[in-house]
Amino acid sequence: MFKSRWHYLIAALVTFFLLIAALGVLAAVLIYPNLPSLDSLTDYRPKVPMRVYTADNSLIAEFGEERRAVVSLSNIPHFVPQAILAAEDERFYQHGGVDTLGILRAALSNVMSGGAKEGASTITMQVARNFFLTREKTFARKLNEALLSIKIEHALSKDQILTLYINQIYLGQRAYGFGAASYAYFGKPLQKVTIAEAAMLAGLPKAPSRYNPVVNFERARQRQLYVLNRMHVLKYIDDAQYEQAKNQHLVIRSGPLSTKNVSADYVAEMVRQAMYDRYQDAIYTSGMKVYTTIRKRDQDAADQALWQGVMDYDQRHGYRGVEGFVQIPADDQNIEATLDDALQNSVVVHNLQPAVVLEAKPKQVRAYSKDSGMITITGSGLKFAQRALTGGLPAKLDIRRGALIRVEKDSKTGAWRIVQIPTVEAAFISIDPKTGAILSLVGGFDYNLNKFNHVTQAWRQPGSSFKPFIYSAALEKGFTAATLVDDAPLTIPAAQAGGVEWSPKDYEDTYSGIVSVRQALTKSLNLPTIRILQAIGPNYARDYAKRFGFDPARQPPYLTLALGAGSVTPLQMARGYTAFANGGRLATPYLITRVVDQQGRILSQTVPEKPRQVIDPRNAFIMTSLMQSVVRRGTAARAMQLGRSDLAGKTGTTNDQFDAWFTGYQSSVVGVAWIGFDQPRTLGRGETGAQAALPIWMKYMGTVLRDVPQTGYAVPSGIVTATINPLTGLPAANGETGYNEYFYQETVPVLTTVPAIPEAVPATPETPQPDTPQPDSSPVF
């Protein structure tokens, strides 16, 4: 047997050299002149996905068929190309494209091993194959591959060829090139890999599916050890580096390939749609970079604030029951594999992990999570789901062996608790009122669960958060912050209420008698607001609201408009409030700042629209003053926990608590928080804007304004203060107790009450009662 192998080798060598000589003549005469052009190599343009970035260069998303992260030899560690050469072509810098010594060595090895187990393709030959040829194993293809390799070596430098290889080769997990593979398997750029990680990556080209560490880590590990040994033998690494690399524990990513470092899926989809409308399919391959107005800190704060607000709401309304059940054989010897299969289609939502219950008792639950293994839940971790452990829910919802539940690990204590995926939805957006730049946008609780963008697509009733636009209109009709209005029951005839007789109430169903405009907005009193709207006229108010960007067709010209019975989106609300925060100038929101091509050339650049003056600066100033009262001592007084005096805003709650809002601002940022169900239904008793939405806004503002100095609002020309008698709404006479209020210079506070609606049914005297809450005792600035 051994003798026959040597006979085979000698015959093969003789045949090989004769064949090489013949092929050389044939190639020179017939084939070489007809080889394909190398333009695709000399002008290398890989299919690079479109990438979307924040304003401060954090990656939001990438869109493309092939995931790539193009790198150059100069910006990666030297041991990365060394690992590749050790694994694939150690004589790369010595041969001319076809390694005859390598072919001889492979032939000898195959003869000695009794079969064809070792190939002799060089890196140049692999480049030729990847760019120009198929992978079919025919003599013609191999001949073309060899000739193309020689042609490539004459046209490009060795470093250029190696760079092409590093960026083009497919390495599994949809990753093309070592840059993308580094993110796919280790979640880091190629510049930051270790020797051990570089060796693992270098082992992939031989057979990406076979040596994929996600699929078969042990097989990939053996290939890595081979590469490390070759690096050691070739003296690319010393003894200490070799031992350290062999012993390094590798953490392999098991999730989808992603390089993003900020969570903004709704933003990414908005950008993708806008770019596709303009550039069509080219966005997926041409390597465009899209820079947005989003700021990473703002987006992270908004995402965390919305998530926490929704989870807090969900916790307040109790455990609904398990997600389903999994059959667990009693004598399963390979139970973890069985459970992994059962959990295959259950994805992690934020940090809410799916888990299968193995044992359930009132004081302890044992479960298995695909991501965390066996876990035990005790104590307070069971409190939320206690009813499901003690028979308090229907049997099909109880927690027992085989139940599919959600668990969450406390980041501080490490203890586990039972949770659930919320069914309520929410939205948050923040805008720079001076420019219109969108600073953060979260369109829902989780994009993978619900791709509907509630910021831009959800038309909902704004409730009392719409009241500032009514009050702003009233200031232009002669009302002042000191004007007295009656807070008493009334009945609105059908003609003024949209077709049905209406008897509105204040939220607490209590009445304050005669109150000032400031007090009415501060406490979000409904009845005074309706009387104000009746006085200025619903049609006037609807047309006035158009100044702030609201569609008149979606705002009913009835008295119900006073309580926000129209339809708006959170984006529209944010835009409308920019006029109050920016001295009466309305900003136009925008998201994309510029688009550049793969070479960094600007393809398009946004020129922000200059904010338009839509209301009197004095109006904006007084409205800000009123909404500061809302925050300081009104329905949003909880916001004073932030310890700032420069915040203003308005809560909003619709009938039966279907929608909860808070829209507020500081001079540098307007933020809108909304929470509700996609199929409108009550959020529950007490779930007002102050309870459900304001905490989201506060958490965001508390983060983004942490290092921002407090600022006041400049008093515009034409604003004066006067001391007002709270009982009359008129300037205080000598000796009368009063408080300071802001007015237009030409406005004389003469109204003591707003005329009653003719059909109204008064229930209290029209004079102030002794216990009537008094207006603010001093200006709010």
As annotated, the active-site residues are 88, 464
Q: 3-class SS at 376?
A: strand
Q: How far apart are CA 221 and CA 211, in angstroms?
A: 8
The sign of the CA dihedral 158, 161, 167, 170 is negative
Neighbours of 379 (CB within 10 A): 11
Question: What's the rounded Cα separation, in Å, for the pair 660 and 310?
Answer: 12
Task: Measure CA 666 to chain center.
Answer: 23
Please count the other Cβ atoms lying within 10 Å of the Cβ belonging to residue 254. Answer: 11
- Which amino acid would we find at residue 582? N
User: Strands, E, within 451-609: which ranges?
Assistant: 484-487, 513-516, 585-586, 592-596, 602-605
In b/e form, how buried is each residue of 112-124, taking b as 16+ CB within 10 angstroms?
Answer: eeeeeeeebbbbb
Alpha helices in 405-453 (DSSP H): none
DSSP conformational letter for 757: P
Q: Cα(448)–Cα(350) distance, rounded to whole angstroms? A: 10
CA atoms within 13 A on the CB side of 440: 29
698 secondary structure, DSSP code? H
CA distance 591 to 54: 10
CA distance 289 to 59: 10
- In whole angstroms, give the CA distance from residue 630 to residue 570: 20
Which H or E run contains 226?
A: helix 217-233
- Going by C-alpha positions, the residue among 608, 481, 619, 607 that lies closest to residue 548 is 619
Rounded distance, CA 382 to CA 379, Å? 6
Strands 364-369 and 585-586: unpaired
Centre a 10 Å sphere on the Cβ of residue 448 and count the other Cβ atoms it contains: 10
DSSP strands (E only) in 258-372:
289-292, 324-325, 353-361, 364-369
Taking the alpha carbons at both ends of the chain, their separation in whole angstroms is 100
